[in-house]
Amino acid sequence: MPARFLKKRSEKIGLAPGSLVFVGEKKMEKPKVRLINYNNSNLQEIELQIIRESDKFKKIETVTWLNVDGLHDDDLIRDIGNEFELDSLILEDIMNTGQRPKLEEFDNAIFIVAKMLNYDETKDEIISEQLSLVIGENFLLTFQERVGDYFEPVRNRIRKSKGRIRNAGVDYLAYALLDTVVDNYIMSIEKLGEKIEDIEEEIIDNPDPEILEKIQDFKREVNFMRKGIRPAREFILQLSKIDSDLVDDNTIPFLKDLLDLITQAVESVEVYREMLNDQLNIYHTSVSNKMNEVMKILTIFAAIFIPLTFIAGIYGTNFEYFPELGFKYSYFIFWGILITVGLIMLRYFKNKNWL
């Protein structure tokens, strides 16, 4: 199973900065390049076979969204970099799927790395995919690890000209994509949170080892989400305060609203992380209490049988002269003494609230 928290970087060791080496898991055989070009009155949507086909869209005053699915083809990434005059460090980070979410400013572009997260209910597992965005003067480049319908709602808004998206620029399109990413954070947290809250009653009623395993699994998934969501808040905060010609002042209020949403996601993750820690403590406390109950019962039985064993030991010795053994009812008297002593001790324990 490939590492989830840290990608292997053995092939990059010793290479110069900007070297194009794919780091991660190959998730599709052949990359797919889709282009959407639009303004408030026209829309064109095509699948590119050669990157140079996008050159004509750079010369017109429209919004060009180029989306690449599949990051393992270094020749393709290099061609895109040459076509859009991207810094080699941007290209290097695009091909490294283990990048930490971040924002970097360059002379001609803003580069953003984010994690797209989805909760797989069948596996009880968070599925992660890296998303890279390059915001240019009149183009937006997005790079995903595989084909999916994550941004299909945004594409439909563009096709149907819903809202302000067809009248706004590249920066608003980038906001719409990031907003979709954060909405999915919230949805994934809600689904995972329902499972976490459901096991709380199970812990109290039946703290068996399976519950402990569930708690540990949920802790791992929450920590995995936390690793992607907390840095996302940092770059969204940075983006909402950015001083760049590539981000219009009219987009800033939307970015601030997005900051509120990502803050809610971060706080929710922290709440569930603390909840799992509390549940783990409750589990250990419940197990400890059950063990104490068992030990209490065993201790009481031991305490009752100590004097009975003492009495039985005396009467079981081989003395030649033992006056009580000459009585006709000695056997029944002996049992009467044992039962009486036992009842007296039980009554004593009861009065002490030990039972």
- Picking from 72, 67, 58, the residue whose alpha carbon sits closest to that of residue 23 is 72
Per-residue pLDDT of 211-240, as tens digits, reads 888 889 999 999 999 999 999 999 999 999
The answer, yes or no, to whether residue 15 has pLDDT greater than 70, is no
Long-range pairs, 106-110, Cβ under 8 A, ≥24:
108/136, 108/137, 109/84, 109/134, 109/135, 109/136, 109/246, 110/134, 110/135, 110/239, 110/242, 110/244, 110/246, 110/247
Question: Hey, is 170 helix, strand or coil?
Answer: helix
Residue appearing with tokens 């909840």? 275
The amino acid at 159: R
E strand or H helix that includes residue 255: helix 252-315
**pLDDT band per the 50, 70, 90 thresholds, residue 10:** low
- Residues 6+ positions from 218 with CB-CB distance below 8 Å: 124, 192, 195, 196, 199, 272, 276
Task: Determine whether 274 is exposed, middle or buried from the number of CB atoms within 10 Å of its CB (0-12, 13-18, 19+).
Answer: exposed
When mean pLDDT is compared across 32-41, 118-127, 186-195, the lowest value belongs to: 118-127
The answer, yes or no, to whether residue 91 has pLDDT greater than 90, is yes
Mean pLDDT of 136-159: 91
Helices (H), 85-169: 88-95, 152-160
| C-alpha gyration radius of the chain | 35
Q: What is the DSSP letter of 48?
A: E
Per-residue pLDDT of 335-355, as tens digits, reads 887 788 888 877 877 776 666
> Which has the higher per-residue pLDDT, 277 or 342?
277
Q: What pLDDT sits at residue 200?
A: 76
* Domains, in order of start, for the chain: 10-286 (3.30.460.20), 293-351 (1.20.58.340)
Q: Phi then psi for 266, rounded to 5 degrees?
A: -60, -45
When mean pLDDT is compared across 162-176, 278-292, 296-310, 318-332, the lowest value belongs to: 318-332
Helix 330-351 and helix 252-315, axial crossing angle in degrees, nearest 10 = 150
Q: What pLDDT sits at residue 54?
A: 80
Per-residue pLDDT of 192-209, as tens digits, reads 998 888 887 777 777 778
The answer, yes or no, to whether residue 58 has pLDDT greater than 60, is yes
